[in-house]
Amino acid sequence: MKYEDKVSIELAIWEQRFTEAPGWLESTSKRIGERINHIIPAKVHNAITAAVKTIVRTALFGAEYTPKRDVLRISLEEADHIARKTLSLYKKIAAAEGAGTGAGGLLLNAVDFPALIAIKMKFLFELAHIYGFDTNHFAERIYILNIFQLAFSSKEQRRRLLKRLKRWETEKRQWPSETRFYQSMDWDLFQKEYRDALDFRKMLQMVPGIGAVAGAWANYTILEELGETAMNAFRMRRLPSAG
């Protein structure tokens, strides 16, 4: 069996699991997260909202997150191998960052959100280059943003976003300019979906006594989920039938 055929099977299994109705554990976690959410001071929520906007806009419209190295031109199998090693490194970085801020109380936890977003964005840009996509092109940065949304969105949104990514060559034509995309972006929905996806795990990080352990666990698992989603999103485009 060709490696690409193996990947096609893996993608089909992942897509079915990724878009299926939320289970009991996920639904329960969301309800608990919503309750904890009401306890967190408004200034913390405002810091999170501001961080999401600022860092995502910087990634889209600036050059800060674009690695200063050549885009790799390698086989899909080689790209997967390097991507897994890169993900392993970023999971460790995120876990260390979460442990440090988790031990520092409420103030440092507010700092953790923008730091974690920055780590995720750098990881996604690096992954794009590993799979052979040039993030100097605005369409590739939009693709990265859609991956970010896909990883941290509700089940309902996942189906819509995944459909968009699977027909990306057509989808990207609706944004002829950065201004057009920026004006069409629903920033409020984007922020809410992201925050809701992380609430339960990240709120545990603020509990005295377990903050460091919870912070490391939360960041590690969040990067793990993002990595799986991102790798599969880029793998879809590398298959011969893609596009």
What distance in Å separates the CA atoms of residue 225 and residue 73, rounded to the nearest whole number? 26
**Amino acid at position 130, single letter:** I
Give yes or no for residue 205 having a pLDDT over 70. no
Q: What is the structure's pLDDT at 137?
A: 85
H, E, C per residue of the chain: CCHHHHHHHHHHHHHHHHHCCCCHHHHHHHHHHHHHHCCCCHHHHHHHHHHHHHHHHHHHHCCCCCCCCCCCCCCHHHHHHHHHHHHHHHHHHHHHHHHHHHCCHHHHHHHHHHHHHHHHHHHHHHHHHHCCCCCCCHHHHHHHHHHHHHHCCCHHHHHHHHHHHHCHHHHHHHCCCHHHHHHHCCHHHHHHHHHHHHHHHHHHCCCCCCHHHHHHHHHHHHHHHHHHHHHHHHHHHHCCCCC
**Amino acid at position 20, single letter:** E
Mean pLDDT, all residues of the chain: 78
Q: What is the structure's pLDDT at 103?
A: 46
> Mean pLDDT, to the nearest integer, of 162-175?
88
> Do 117 and 64 meet the contact criterion of CB atoms below 8 Å apart?
no
Q: What is the structure's pLDDT at 12?
A: 95
pLDDT digits (tens, 9 = 90+) for 108-142: 455 566 778 888 889 999 999 999 999 888 889 88
Query: Predicted confidence band at 78 (pLDDT cuts at 50, 70, 90)?
Result: very high
Task: Tell me the two tokens of residue 18.
Answer: 């990724």
> Mean pLDDT, to the nearest integer, of 90-105?
73
What distance in Å separates the CA atoms of residue 236 and residue 165, rounded to the nearest whole number? 9
Query: Predicted confidence band at 40 (pLDDT cuts at 50, 70, 90)?
Result: low
> Mean pLDDT, to the nearest integer, of 150-165?
88
Q: Whole-prediction pTM value?
A: 0.81
Least confident of 50-59, 129-138, 200-209: 200-209
> Mean pLDDT, to the nearest integer, of 58-71?
66
Q: What is the structure's pLDDT at 237?
A: 94
Q: What is the structure's pLDDT at 174?
A: 79
Q: What is the structure's pLDDT at 224?
A: 93
Give yes or no for residue 61 having a pLDDT over 80. no
- Closest of 99, 129, 128 to residue 112, by C-alpha: 99
Q: What is the structure's pLDDT at 1?
A: 86
Q: What is the structure's pLDDT at 2?
A: 92
CB burial of residue 17 (10 Å; 0-12, 13-18, 19+) = exposed
What distance in Å separates the CA atoms of residue 205 and residue 214, rounded to the nearest whole number? 5
What distance in Å separates the CA atoms of residue 225 and residue 212, rounded to the nearest whole number? 20
Q: What is the structure's pLDDT at 147?
A: 95
What distance in Å separates the CA atoms of residue 60 and residue 135, rounded to the nearest whole number? 9
Give yes or no for residue 36 having a pLDDT over 90. no
Phi, then psi, of 187 in degrees rounded to 5: -65, -35
